[in-house]
């Protein structure tokens, strides 16, 4: 892990990089949330299609 990332402990240049790191982590979390939702939606769609196929077979 990193040392304490509090702004008052670092230079301006380091604080710029720290802020970029924090932004990257937030975007990464948002991307993972989006991908998870896509996977859930695809799973639900496939389940519905499976139920329809089973109904037509019967």
37 is in which domain, residue-wise?
Answer: 7-57
- Decide if 35 is inside a domain: yes
DSSP state string for 23-34: HHHHHHHHHHHH
- Residue 18: partners with Cβ closer than 8 Å, 6 or more residues away: 5, 7, 10
How much is the pLDDT for 58? 82
Q: Which residue has the tokens 């790191």?
A: 21
- Decide if 2 is inside a domain: no
- Decide if 33 is inside a domain: yes
Q: Walk along the chain (58 residues) and give the pLDDT tens digit of each residue.
A: 778 999 999 999 999 999 999 999 999 999 999 999 999 999 999 999 999 999 999 8
- Decide if 42 is inside a domain: yes
- Decide if 29 is inside a domain: yes
* Residues 28/32/34/39 CA torsion (nearest 10 deg): 160
**pTM attached to this predicted model:** 0.72
- Decide if 25 is inside a domain: yes
- Decide if 1 is inside a domain: no
- Decide if 17 is inside a domain: yes
Number of domains comprising the chain = 1
């Amino acid at each position: 892990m990193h040392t304490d990332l509090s702004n008052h402990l670092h230079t301006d240049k380091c604080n710029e990089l720290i802020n970029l790191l924090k932004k990257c982590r937030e975007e990464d979390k948002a991307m993972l949330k989006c991908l998870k939702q896509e996977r859930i939606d695809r799973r639900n769609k496939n389940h519905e299609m499976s139920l329809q196929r089973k109904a037509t077979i019967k």
